Structure 1
Amino acid sequence: MPTNNTRYYLGFNLIPGLGPARLARLIEQCGSLEAAWYADELALVMAGLDKRTSAALCAGRQRIDLDHELERVHQAGVSLLSIDDPAYPHLLRNIPAAPPLIYVRGSVEFQNTWTVAVVGTRSPTSYGREVAQRLSYDLAQQGVTVVSGLAIGVDSVAHQAALEAQGRTLAVLGSGVDLPYPERNRDLAARISEHGALISDYPLSTRPVATNFPARNRLISGLSLATLVIEAGERSGALITVDFALEQGRDVFAVPGHIFSRQSIGTHRLIRDGASLATCAADILESLNLTTAAVQQEARSELPSDPTEAKLLDLLSYEPQAIDEIGRAMGMRAGEVAATLAVLELKGLVRQAGPMEYVRR
């Protein structure tokens, strides 16, 4: 069930011009999300909102029926994840100015952090299509979730290959999740929602206008450990995704192409400027230390039934904690803690962040 916070995040998401940074300032000024929704004019000014945004919020509060909007989302078969929801993808949560609310059509299970974005030109060569198919298929077979943007070309091939491998794939949209674009990919979008998810931070019924897609690319990279570029021209939109990935501190891989191919100008430039060269899925898996991803994925499918494992997992966060500190909190000896952490690490639920320090995955 949506919480009150989800209601208010949904309301704010329907206010034009009120992005994550402005909303964060407003919440800080008012002390809570609910108070921010009902903020008076003085609080809006103190939060630094300009007149246009303040007017849009005041008008929106009068116009928007939050319960009706929640019901509309429910009737559309869409789930909402707010940034303070434990199910919100933690990779996305960690990017600067993460979207406060995302709309999800499909599975909302984002515990799998083995995600790789596969992007590229909308007009791939036969070589580019083959590369996108093979690498995406192999990544999905190894338990990696393939993330892309549902566009024609490399995006479509990547999604289809992941589905053929009976793997999981996420499509991030520059429109509402109820209006997947392009129309020729509606059937593909339906299959993705059954074996993964359609994701957007745009409200329902949002049309796919050109200005939405650069922001969409920010979510593609934000949901992913790394971005793989397969054929990108000199001004390809895939390079925008790369820029966001670098800003977010994520890895970038590029597949080399024919030196005379216009579709490979961008990828060759990425390699020249320091992107990791990728010729197969193993190059990516080894670089990201995911060579055991398939084994971990299978183990991880079984949530901890052991009460000690479950309690320890609840104790951990995304801030590194030393084994001694964990032991004191758990009332366990260091050796017992280390053994339990080893099991949880095999299941892909925790990882070692430093010498004798662990975090949740």
Structure 2
Amino acid sequence: MEQYYLAALQKVPGIGSSRIKALVDYFGSARQAWLADQGDLFLSRCVDNTVCNNLLAHRDKLDVHNLAELLFKKRIFLCSLTNDNYPVLLRNTFNPPYVLYYRGILPNHDKLVAIVGARKASPYGRNAAGMLAAALATAQVGIVSGAARGIDTTAHQGALEQGYTIAVLGCGVDISYPPENARLLARIAETGAIISEYAPGVMAQARHFPARNRIISGLSRGVIVVEAAERSGALITADFALEEGRDVFAVPGSIFAGGSKGTNRLIKQGAKLVDGAGDVLEEYGWEADPLKPAGVILAKDEQAVYSLLNYEEPIGIEEIVTKLNVLPATAAYILLQLTLRGLTVEHSGQCYTCAAREGNK
């Protein structure tokens, strides 16, 4: 039960990792700290008057045994700093969460890289994120991201095609945020991990995300920023990485795109430019998967449609119909087949781009 008492302490406003450690060291266990009376808490000098009152108020409302039962029913696990399976890179950061809630399987290695970027991502950014994630996952690199819209979502999807991914949330691990990623998070929980320092039932709040970002960078050997405006949460993650001595990589973007201002500035400041997974693998001496994807063979009509597409600007089906002089139903069928084979990506308004993959850029 000791871990559940640790989790109970972490739920108290004003009690972070350093105070939990101080309380456990003073009282001998999290359970004794949780059950200590007001006088003993004051004598410990581990908490001030406000935090002490917060602890007492939470203790009156929270039954630790009920918390344990709730987590068991929801198949949510706990991992504390004292556990051997606590992620090693995160353990060695300045302010790691004392307790992590998680669903799925925690990583048992440090071959992890974060991919982060804009929520309002361009087709170019999504293509780059998906390509990098898939290629790195093929090389047995775990992909860490925040399950947000845009770049994060595409990074997780790319990693799931080939390997392992971790989603770090700014809410409880039983909450699907954003809501449209419920199915994605369920898939991640099956083969990867969903992690949070927030207890089940805690809803996402703006103030949670900077704290969430420190965990993303803390779990990772390096952070790849794919798209980021000049003021961006992805840049906060990059800042955390730099503070912890982790590597920062950036995907270059158009000098005319507002969503690339932040990434291009990172490159100016010394971030390593990335245009393929090999740039990251080379940095750490990791080996790429020796199996190269087989060449794609397209039928004549498929090649005609595919040749009109690019990796950055979506092309509408009407334009394809006009240029090739084919029926809309024919164009739609060909595009569906290309999409099912992972060669194209459909965007809103029946517009399409090529799907970037290492080796076919």
Category of TM-score, reference length = shorter chain: 0.7 to 0.9
> Aligned residue for 2:279?
283
User: 1:163 aligns to what SS in structure 2?
Assistant: helix
Q: Structure 2 unaligned runs (5+)?
A: 292-361
Are positions 1:141 and 2:135 aligned together? Answer: no
SS at match of 1:227: strand
Pick closer, same or farther for the CA change 1:289–1:47 going to 2, 3 Å: farther
Q: CA offset at residue 28 of structure 1?
A: 3.2
Find the residue that maps to 2:259 and give its secondary structure.
Answer: helix
Which letter does structure 1 place at the counterpart of 2:21? A
Matches within 5 A, 1:76-225: 76-108=74-106, 110-165=107-162, 167-225=163-221
The answer (yes or no) to whether the contact 2:112–2:143 under 8 Å persists in 1 is: yes
Percent identity of the aligned residues? Answer: 45
TM-score by structure 2 length? 0.77
Residue of structure 1 equivalent to 2:64: 66
The aligned counterpart of 1:249 is: 245
**1:202-248 Cα shifts (integer Å, max 9, x gaps):** 00000111111111111111111110000100001101101111111
Q: Within 2, Cα distance between the matches of 1:25 and 1:113?
A: 28
**Larger radius of gyration, structure 1 or 2?**
2
Work out which of the residue numbers 52, 55, 59 in structure 1 matches 2:50: 52
1:293 shift after superposition: 8.1
- Report the AA paired with residue 143 of structure 1: Q
User: What is the one-letter code of the residue matched to 1:175?
Assistant: C
Deviation for aligned residue 1:261: 1.0
Q: Return the alpha-carbon distance in structure 2 between the equivalents of residues 289 and 40 of structure 1.
A: 54
Distance 1:8 1:283 in 2: 44
Q: Deviations over 1:9-45 (max 9, x none)?
A: 1211222221112222323333443332233434433
Q: What does residue range 265-284 of structure 1 map to in structure 2 within 5 Å?
A: 265-284=261-280
Runs of at least 5 residues in structure 1 that lack an aligned partner in the other structure: 296-361
1:82, distance to aligned residue in structure 2 (A): 1.2
Do the aligned residues in 2 keep the contact of 1:114 with 1:293 (CA within 8 Å)?
no
More off after superposition, 58-67 vs 196-205? 58-67
CA displacement, residues 267-299 of structure 1 (integer Å, 9 cap, x when unaligned) = 11111111111111110011122226889xxxx
The count of aligned residue pairs is 290
Matched, 1:36 2:33: yes
1:209 and 1:202 map into 2 onto residues whose CA distance is 11
Instruction: Decide whether the 8 Å contact of 2:2 with 2:29 is kept in 1.
Output: no
Structure 1 residues 242 and 293 mapped into 2: Cα distance closer, same or farther (>3 Å)? Answer: farther
State the alpha-carbon separation in 2 of the partners of residues 184 and 103 from structure 1: 22
RMSD (CA atoms): 1.7
Determine if contact 1:141/1:294 at 8 Å carries over to the other structure: no
Within the alignment, does 1:21 sit opposite 2:10 as a pair? no
**Which residue of the partner structure matches residue 237 of structure 1?**
233
